[in-house]
């Protein structure tokens, strides 16, 4: 998935940056069904470009349990030699999980929400990550899964043309021109653009309210 980072010029002081059928012969072998719908889905697989030996040496069970208990953790990567790497939402922008077999000795446990009343077929799994009110779906590939999110605290929106855009607000103490805003955006590697949906407009309004309240509060304190 390619994430588009663009920015929106709004008035003179605010910028927004847009910025059990089906399971046969599959590598999935385990569902850790605990605490309602939040679960750890464990498969034979590995995380691309992650060094397993950089992790801690703990049992596979401890690795999975620790990820489940840590609010920020979205994935546990481990092997049969008891190495464990936990990957957090705030530190992760892109992940590629590649399925393999037990013979390769790698396992991945993905934290997700799954039904409690049935066991969905592998081809119909809908995996997604939810953290601080933000939900992002895993994308199924031919041989695994991929995960993409916006950098830092940028907000993601899905547009009708299948583009994914990332938005962020920037508050300025004094007015600047449109040309200055373009240079500001391009200086960070982004582009100036406009909103494309009611969801984006609603998000902009909430950001304006936040900055207005923050500004009024600073005036009262001074």
CB contact at 8 A, 185 and 7: yes
- Burial track 92-108 (b if 16+ CB lie within 10 A, e otherwise): beebbbbbbeeeeebbb
DSSP 89: S
* Residues 157 and 142 both lie in one domain: no
163 Cβ neighbours under 8 A, 6+ residues apart: 4
pLDDT at residue number 69: 93
The pTM of this model reads: 0.63
* Residues 96 and 171 both lie in one domain: no
* Residues 117 and 36 both lie in one domain: yes
* Residues 81 and 14 both lie in one domain: no
User: At which of 132, 148, 164 does a domain end?
Assistant: 148
Domain count across the chain: 2
pLDDT at residue number 28: 40
User: At which of 109, 126, 148 does a domain end?
Assistant: 148
User: At which of 148, 167, 201 does a domain end?
Assistant: 148
* Residues 172 and 118 both lie in one domain: no
Domain span at 96: 28-148
pLDDT at residue number 29: 36
State the pLDDT confidence band at 81, using cuts at 50, 70 and 90: very high
* Residues 13 and 76 both lie in one domain: no
Residue 9 confidence (pLDDT) above 60: no
pLDDT at residue number 109: 93
Query: pLDDT (tens digit, 9 = 90+) per residue, 140-183?
Result: 888 888 888 887 778 888 787 767 788 887 777 788 888 888 89
Taking the CB of residue 61, how many other CB atoms lie within 10 A of it? 11
* Residues 116 and 176 both lie in one domain: no
Burial of 59 (0-12, 13-18, 19+ CB in 10 A): exposed
């Amino acid at each position: 998935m390619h994430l588009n980072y663009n920015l929106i010029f709004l008035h003179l002081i605010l910028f927004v940056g847009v910025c059990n059928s089906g399971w046969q012969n599959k590598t999935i072998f385990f569902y850790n069904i605990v605490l309602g719908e939040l679960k750890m889905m464990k498969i034979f697989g590995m995380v691309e470009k992650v060094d397993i030996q950089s992790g801690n040496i703990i049992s596979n069970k401890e690795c999975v349990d620790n990820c489940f208990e840590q609010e920020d953790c979205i994935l546990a990567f481990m092997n049969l030699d008891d190495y464990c790497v936990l990957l957090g939402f705030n530190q992760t922008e892109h992940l590629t999980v590649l399925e393999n077999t037990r013979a390769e000795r790698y396992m991945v446990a993905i934290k997700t929400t799954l039904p409690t009343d049935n066991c969905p077929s592998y081809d119909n799994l809908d995996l997604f990550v939810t953290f601080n009110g933000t939900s992002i779906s895993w994308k199924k590939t031919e041989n695994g899964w991929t995960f993409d999110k916006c950098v830092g605290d940028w907000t993601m929106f899905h547009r009708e043309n299948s583009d994914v855009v990332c938005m962020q607000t920037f508050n300025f103490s004094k007015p600047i021109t449109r040309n200055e805003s373009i240079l500001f955006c391009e200086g960070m590697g982004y582009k100036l653009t406009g909103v494309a949906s009611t969801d984006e407009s609603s998000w902009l309004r909430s950001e304006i309210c936040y900055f207005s309240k923050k500004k009024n509060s600073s005036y009262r304190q001074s």
